[in-house]
């Protein structure tokens, strides 16, 4: 059966596709290259049918977190019920073996050893564990970008106050001509006192994908460690963490993996674990065991379990298809507006330097006014960004987004810019 026949006979556009149906659907589509499948609206309509959407607005703000498909949400609710029924019996007999199994599965997804990965609540917890766990000495230096996420910049500032270390910040260009332009920018701020470089894998306000591997090689050649903020890249881009050659990597699973809220990962390269100080004490583990960083106390353990269901859904689609579709959607609308009068794209033009996320502004219109008009007049939900060199609204489609929705956004944007 070919893909179109499958969609017809299985009623792919109906709401009731099971995980098994989805696997069969993708098996039927497996002969189609990911880039070609990315433009197949009938195929993606069958994925959209798995999400419960509001009719009142078009949601183009999936960067905060990605809504879960109904089957993953239902699996999560079933875990909540199951654990509530077993209560302390679950906590004392099943909690830890189950958590280990989820950790193993996540490590497989990340391409690293389970001994280098822990489950956290989110990127903030992951990266702040590294920043606050570093043995800073007065005069030490760290390098980061002013476009990095505020919570991490604040955590570095706290270390500066506490230990007398110094933070240096680059400002990222919106449309770099080469990887070397970015690598040089960071390299210029590295001194003999620099110990840690923080880089965003995908800058959240612009969608800019940074050349992380080249940055890591440069940092290591100067004896500097590198920590990567992967909040938006993990389960969005097709890569394995060890291929980036970084020392630390943090990500949120409620963004692009589609896990429920409050799930993240921290990767620490094996030989970097020993020197990190845990935030919460736990003498049960050796200094070289990453689990020393993972004493969370009593917490929502059903979240850990539901990560498995999110991975099932993610893998039923496949990372190559997911990345190709998300990049297709972004290019679909940005191609139509780049270069138009008053419209400013704050995302690199080179398609290899971005994926789902892009940012657009209108000259002479404050970002919050643009976001307000899009919602009030056109029923399109976005988020205003007005920081560093970025003034615009962030547009983040999800797997359920249609090209018809993006057409509506393009019409709205050009009408506002023309008016
Ligand atoms: C680049 C980046 N880093 C870190 C975070 C923090 O993620 P969380 O709130 O899940 O910890 C975000 C959240 O949007 C982000 O975009």
Question: Based on C-alpha coordinates, what's the Rg of the chain?
Answer: 22
**If you count them, how many residues does the chain have?**
419
Question: 150 alpha carbon to ligand 1 midpoint, in Å?
Answer: 9
Alpha carbons 289 and 102: distance in angstroms, whole number: 17
At residue 240 the predicted structure's pLDDT band, cuts being 50, 70 and 90, is very high
CA 124 to ligand 1: nearest atom: 11
- Give the position, in ligand 1's atom list, of the atom nearest the Cα of 148: 1
Q: Is the pTM of this model over 0.85?
A: yes
* Displacement of CA 339 from its chain's centroid (Å): 28
Task: Give the separation between CA 375 and CA 342, rounded to whole angstroms.
Answer: 20
Among 120, 122, 212, 231, which residue has the most ligand 1 atoms within 8 Å of its CB, making it the best to mutate? 231
**Burial label, 243 (beta-carbon count in 10 A; 0-12, 13-18, 19+):** exposed
H or E element: which one contains 98? helix 95-110
* 3-class DSSP assignment, residue 202: strand
In degrees and rounded to multiples of 5, residue 214 shows phi and psi of -65, -35
Query: Which of 63, 120, 122, 123 to mutate to test ligand 1, by most ligand atoms within 8 A of the CB atom?
Result: 123
pLDDT digits (tens, 9 = 90+) for 104-152: 999 999 999 999 999 999 999 999 999 999 999 999 999 999 999 999 9
Q: Output the CA 152–ligand 1 centroid distance in Å.
A: 9
List residues near ligand 1 (CB under 6 A).
122-124, 149, 151, 200, 204, 229, 231-232, 252
137 vs 289: CA distance, rounded Å: 24
The neighbouring-strand residues paired with 160 are none
Q: Residue 172: what pLDDT?
A: 98
HSE on the CB side for 127, CA within 13 Å? 28
If you measure from the C-alpha of residue 231 to the centroid of ligand 1, how many angstroms do you get, rounded to a whole number? 5
Task: State in Å: Cα 255 to ligand 1 middle.
Answer: 9
What's the CA-to-centroid distance between 414 and ligand 1, angstroms?
30
pLDDT tens per residue across span 21-52: 656 666 667 789 999 999 999 999 999 999 99
Element spanning 72, H or E: helix 70-93
């Amino acid at each position: 059966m070919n893909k179109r026949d499958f969609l017809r006979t299985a009623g792919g556009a109906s709401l009731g596709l099971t995980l098994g149906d989805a696997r069969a659907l993708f098996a039927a589509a497996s002969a189609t290259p990911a880039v070609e499948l990315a433009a197949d609206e009938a195929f993606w309509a069958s994925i959209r049918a798995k999400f419960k959407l509001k009719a009142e607005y078009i949601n183009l703000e999936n960067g905060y977190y990605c809504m879960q498909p109904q089957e993953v949400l239902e699996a999560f609710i079933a875990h909540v019920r199951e654990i509530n029924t077993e209560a302390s019996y679950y906590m004392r007999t099943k909690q830890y073996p189950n958590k280990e199994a989820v950790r193993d599965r996540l490590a497989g997804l990340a391409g690293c050893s389970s001994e280098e990965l822990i489950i956290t609540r989110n990127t903030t917890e992951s990266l702040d564990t590294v920043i606050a766990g570093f043995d800073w000495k007065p005069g030490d230096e760290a390098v980061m970008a002013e476009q990095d996420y505020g919570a991490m910049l604040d955590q570095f500032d706290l270390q500066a106050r506490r230990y007398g270390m110094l933070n240096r910040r680059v400002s990222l260009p919106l449309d770099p001509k080469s990887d070397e332009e970015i690598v040089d920018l960071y390299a210029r701020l590295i001194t003999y006192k620099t110990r840690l470089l923080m880089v965003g894998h995908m800058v959240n306000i612009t969608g800019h994908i940074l050349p992380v591997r080249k940055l890591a090689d440069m940092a290591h050649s100067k004896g500097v460690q590198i920590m990567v903020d992967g909040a938006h890249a993990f389960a969005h881009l097709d890569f394995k963490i060890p291929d980036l050659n970084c020392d630390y990597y943090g990500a949120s699973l409620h963004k692009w993996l589609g896990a429920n809220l409050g799930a993240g990962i921290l990767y620490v390269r094996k030989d970097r674990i020993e020197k990190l100080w845990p935030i919460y004490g736990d003498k049960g583990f050796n200094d070289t065991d990453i689990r020393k960083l993972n004493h969370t106390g009593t917490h929502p353990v059903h979240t850990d379990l539901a990560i498995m269901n999110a991975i099932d859904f993610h893998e039923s689609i496949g990372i190559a298809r997911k990345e190709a579709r998300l990049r297709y959607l972004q290019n679909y609308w940005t191609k139509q507006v780049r270069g138009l009068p008053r419209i400013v794209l704050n995302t690199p033009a080179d398609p290899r330097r971005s994926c789902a996320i892009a940012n657009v502004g209108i000259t002479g219109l404050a970002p919050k006014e643009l976001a307000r008009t899009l919602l009030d007049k056109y029923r399109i939900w976005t988020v205003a960004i007005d920081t560093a060199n970025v003034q615009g609204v962030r547009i983040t489609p999800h797997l359920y987004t249609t090209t018809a929705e993006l057409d509506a956004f393009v019409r709205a944007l050009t009408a506002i810019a023309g008016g």
